[in-house]
A = this chain, B = another copy of it.
Amino acid sequence: MINEKMYELGSKRSTIREIFEYAKTRAAQIGAENVYDFSIGNPSVPAPKEVNEAICRIVNETPSVQLHGYTSAQGDKTVRDKIAANYSKRFGVALSGDDLYMTCGAAASLTITCKALVNDGDEFIVFAPFFPEYRVFVENTGAKLVVLPSDERTMLPDFEALKNALNPRVKGVIVNSPNNPSGVVYDEKTLQTLCAILEDGSARFGAPVYLISDEPYRELVYDKNTVVPCAMRYYKHTIVCYSYSKSLSLPGERVGYIAVNPQMEENRAVYAAVCGAGRALGFVCAPALFQRVAAECDGLTGDLETYKRNRDLLYNGLTKCGFTCIRPDGAFYLFVKAAEGDAKAFCERAKKYELLLVNGADFGYDGWVRVAYCVKTETIERALPLFAKLAQEYGL
């Protein structure tokens, strides 16, 4: 008599969480140092020291009632103004605090955005491989998730497929760059192509096809010449969903924002719908203390050098073993082609070596696996010989 769909969502954990829990059990059996858990995207570097300093300073300096009280539903005005000013400066757009809506992290940013936009019969498009919770978030609003392919060599969107899939029911396209699980960063040209197609679709249908840019990994890029272009600059109907989870290594604290492009048609109405959706879903406001912390630490990151070292070690190591990998420019995931067609069987074989990988099928992309390298560097160093053995089994 309860809701069957919610029961299923709650009893079948996401595969990632499943492996994460298996890793904990296995660690208890054979020792944590013998389990190579590459399953979960939990930042492995500490928050920048400014975070904890800010927490203690704010707590000591701010009267309790003011600090811990409700903020406006859209977030503390001073916080929003500060973050918007910083965003404008960094990305060369004119964003104001009134375009920002503070959220309880990326998942909230996405559920609120979808809820704000969706009407009966609407569709959202994603490109595989994609973060699997997108399906949960989109379908929970009653909309349909349409999954389009990516180019296997580049893991960039198949734009012909997009052109064919666009229709008046498409409310938005959700993109994620730097990408989970592929680590790919959309370059300027890719973004321009994408936006031109959406622009054309919006014009043809007489209604915006929104670009929902999910950017929790925005600051996590590793090469000097890797730039994450600002989607808002290329397309007026862009809504940015951001979280401080990865940049500030604060995934448990649940703080992020939605930025509604002020250039958008009817941007005030869209912003109001975002506020309404946040209210309907029960968010009230983003955590007050961490709103202030986010404003103070906006733009900082944890130690990116560690992630870069991990990436290089893992990418070079696995490539050397003979595995086919997508070289990740950002985020902290390596996407690896399974050495046999059946990625599930490949993951099982890896498991024999205590190498815990996530099946790409969970990201809508079978035949590949995700290796999360937000782990201790030592874990990678010690795992590489095991990956080599795995490669040998396959005669790579």
Chain B residue contacts of A116, Cβ below 8 A: 2-3, 6-7, 10
Interface residues of A in 28-53 (CB under 8 A from B): 40, 42-47, 51-52
Chain A residues near B (Cβ < 8 Å): 1-11, 17, 40, 42-47, 51-52, 55-56, 59-60, 63-65, 67-71, 73, 104-105, 107-112, 115-119, 133, 136-137, 140, 171, 207-208, 249-254, 266, 269-290
Given A65-B45, A111-B282, A282-B281, A252 and B119 contact (CB-CB distance below 8 Å): no
Given A115-B6, A273-B6, A280 and B47 contact (CB-CB distance below 8 Å): no
Given A56-B56, A56-B59, A118-B3, A251 and B45 contact (CB-CB distance below 8 Å): no
CB distance from A355 to the nearest CB of B (A): 21
Q: Does the CB pair A112–B249 fall under 8 Å?
A: no
Q: Does the CB pair A269–B7 fall under 8 Å?
A: yes
CB distance from A198 to the nearest CB of B (A): 14
- Measured CA separation A291–B7 after assembly (Å): 24
Q: Does the CB pair A70–B251 fall under 8 Å?
A: yes
Chain B residue contacts of A171, Cβ below 8 A: 1
Q: Can you list 26 A-B pairs with a CB-CB distance of less than 8 A?
A: A2-B119, A3-B273, A6-B274, A6-B280, A8-B276, A9-B276, A9-B277, A10-B271, A10-B273, A10-B279, A11-B275, A42-B69, A46-B63, A51-B64, A55-B59, A56-B56, A56-B60, A68-B249, A69-B251, A108-B282, A108-B284, A133-B279, A136-B280, A254-B254, A254-B284, A281-B282
A contacts with B: majority SS: helix
Given A10-B273, A269-B7, A277-B10, A251 and B111 contact (CB-CB distance below 8 Å): no
Given A55-B55, A207-B1, A281-B111, A70 and B252 contact (CB-CB distance below 8 Å): yes
- Measured CA separation A73–B281 after assembly (Å): 17
Q: Does the CB pair B249–A65 fall under 8 Å?
A: yes
Cross-interface CB contact of A117 among B3, B46, B111, B133, cutoff 8 Å = B3
Cross-interface CB contact of A11 among B9, B109, B276, cutoff 8 Å = B276
